[in-house]
Structure formats: C-alpha cells, structure tokens
Amino acid sequence: MDLRAVPAFDDNYIWLLRDAEGRALVVDPGEAAPVLAALGDVPPLAILLTHHHGDHVGGVADLLARWPATPVLAPHDDRIPQASQRVAGGDRVSVGDWHFDVLAVPGHTRSHVAYHGEGLLFCGDTLFSLGCGRMFEGTPPQMHASLARLAALPGNTRVCCAHEYTLGNAAFALAVEPGNTALQARAETVRALRAKGQPTLPTTLAEECACNPFLRCNVPAVRAAAEGHAGQPLDDAAAVFGALRAWKDGFRA
C-alpha cells in the first residue's frame, strides 16, 4: 500500500492510495491535472469525496471525461452531482481490497463525511494538523462533536488532511498552550519540514490529541486560555471549542 499526498492549488493535497498493482484510490481531487500526471494510463479504482467545495471536487468532471466508469463516492448533497454512490455516517464502503467506515462529521459543511479504514483517516477540511476547519455551515457543538468522533479513533491512525496549514496552525496552538512540550517539539519538526519543502502530513491521531488545541478542549490549560481570550467563563468543552475557533478566525501570527 502506497500513500501519496499530491499537491494542488496553493496548499491543497489530493490523496492517492495505490495497491500492489499500481491502481489508485483518489481522495478529493480539486483539480484533475495533478491526478492525471500521477496516474498516467492507469485508471483509478474510485474517487472518494468528503464535501462539496470546489477545491475538493473541481477535478472530478475531467477525471470522469478520461475514465467515465470510475465510481465516485460522495455524501448526500446535491451540490456534488457527479456521485455514482451516496454515502452517510455508519456506512461501510469497499474499494478494491480496502474497506472504509464512513463517519458523519458536520461542521465545516452540513454534509461533510470522513473515511476511516486501513489505518488511515481521510478527513477533508474537518481536522487539520494542529487545527480544524472553519464552520461555514455548522455550529460549535456540531463541529466539536465531529472532532471528538475523530479523536476517538485509534491513536496510530494516519490523518490525511486536505491542506498544508500546519505551520500557521502551530503558531496559534502555541499561543493557546505555550507550555505543551509535545506541541513545542511538533512545531519544531514542522518548521524543519517546511524549510525543506516537505509535507507535514500525514500526522497521527495520537500526535494530534497531544498537540492540537481543538482536540484538547477539556485540558485545563486550554480551557483557561480560551476563557482568558473570551473574557468570561465557558460552560463546557463545546463552548471552549467555540471560543477557540472564534479566536483562531481572527488570529494573526
């Protein structure tokens, strides 16, 4: 099994998972050209889509023009018209010899899903390394619950986020929890990787649970930082998450 993050646009990653015969599963192809270049003449086994945003689905039409029979798995959302199979939380899907559980993770969008299996998590724009997605169509309790659902997966799960945001996210995470030694080490690793032009992904859930403030809303230091920025006590972890997300929305390193 070969996993590859294919760069697209300014900071997107399109994920390719290849089997022993070189056939690939394609996740969130926002544009077709990088995928066509990577696959050559080998048609993909399937395309998995996490949500409807153009930088995740924009390349699907061109890929289907090249390989019309390619299955396209996507959430129940009319804004993704190319789907050949609709999926929802609780479903289990098979692609070649691989099997994935579909997780409903609303918040970034109302119909966002993630795919977990084979030790991997394709989470679109719900979870980023040291961060999380903006809430365009969801509420803080929804997004917090979605992130908690992901955080409960096995710690050795490799997290395949859709954007290279880790360096910027590290600056915010350190502002929230400057005394976190695991976060300090992660931030140093991230700086070194980006200085060499290398991706910071995939990460692992264990590393994210140790370092990512949005997965640490029950940690006293994180709660205290959120309350300090909000200027008021916060009732629960979902409220802490909401305060952190609002803080991050206006944060400048």
pLDDT recorded at residue 1:
79
The share of the chain scoring above pLDDT 90, in percent, equals: 97
Annotation marks residue 53 as catalytic: yes
pLDDT recorded at residue 65:
98
Q: Average the pLDDT over 194-211 and give the result.
A: 98
Annotation marks residue 99 as catalytic: no
pLDDT recorded at residue 245:
97
Annotation marks residue 51 as catalytic: yes
Q: Average the pLDDT over 153-157 and give the result.
A: 98
Q: Average the pLDDT over 19-38 and give the result.
A: 96
Q: Exposed/middle/buried for 98, CB within 10 Å: 0-12, 13-18, 19+?
A: middle
CA distance 208 to 215: 7
Q: With residue 141 as reference, give the H or E element that holds it.
A: helix 140-151
Per-residue pLDDT tens for 42-77? 999 999 999 999 999 999 999 999 999 999 999 999
- Look over the chain and give the mean of its residue pLDDT values, rounded to a whole number: 97
pLDDT of residue 211 exceeding 90, the answer is yes
pLDDT recorded at residue 27:
98
List the one residue out of 28, 97, 96, 37 whose CA is nearest residue 66. Answer: 37
Kindly name the residue from 53, 112, 116, 144 that is annotated as catalytic. Answer: 53
Kindly name the residue from 28, 55, 116, 144 that is annotated as catalytic. Answer: 55
pLDDT of residue 136 exceeding 90, the answer is yes
- Is residue 75 within 8 Å of residue 111, measured between CB atoms? yes
List the one residue out of 122, 241, 94 whose CA is nearest residue 176. Answer: 241
Kindly name the residue from 56, 112, 116, 144 that is annotated as catalytic. Answer: 56
- Is residue 157 within 8 Å of residue 125, measured between CB atoms? no
Q: Residue 216 carries which side chain, given as an amino acid letter?
A: R
Annotation marks residue 229 as catalytic: no
Confidence of residue 252 (pLDDT cuts 50, 70, 90): confident
pLDDT recorded at residue 48:
98
Annotation marks residue 76 as catalytic: no
Which residues are paired to 73 by β-bridges? 48, 85
| Torsion from C-alpha of 129, 135, 141, 143, nearest 10 degrees | -40
Annotation marks residue 56 as catalytic: yes
- Which tokens sit at 239? 């409220």
Chain centre distance of CA 2: 19
pLDDT recorded at residue 201:
98
Kindly name the residue from 28, 51, 52, 144 that is annotated as catalytic. Answer: 51
Q: Average the pLDDT over 193-197 and give the result.
A: 97
Annotation marks residue 125 as catalytic: yes
Kindly name the residue from 28, 52, 108, 144 that is annotated as catalytic. Answer: 108
Confidence of residue 253 (pLDDT cuts 50, 70, 90): confident
pLDDT recorded at residue 235:
93
Cβ neighbours of residue 14 under 8 Å, at least 6 residues apart?
5, 6, 7, 8, 26, 27, 28, 29, 30, 31, 34, 35, 59
Kindly name the residue from 52, 112, 144, 163 that is annotated as catalytic. Answer: 163
Kindly name the residue from 112, 116, 125, 144 that is annotated as catalytic. Answer: 125
List the one residue out of 211, 205, 29 whose CA is nearest residue 121. Answer: 205
CA pseudo-torsion sign 29, 34, 38, 44: positive
Cβ neighbours of residue 203 under 8 Å, at least 6 residues apart?
129, 158, 159, 161, 166
- Which tokens sit at 185? 């080490």
CA distance 45 to 210: 35
Distances (CA, A) of 243 to 25, 83, 220: 37, 36, 14
Angle among Cα 172, 121, 100 to the nearest 5 degrees reads: 160
Q: Average the pLDDT over 79-95 and give the result.
A: 97
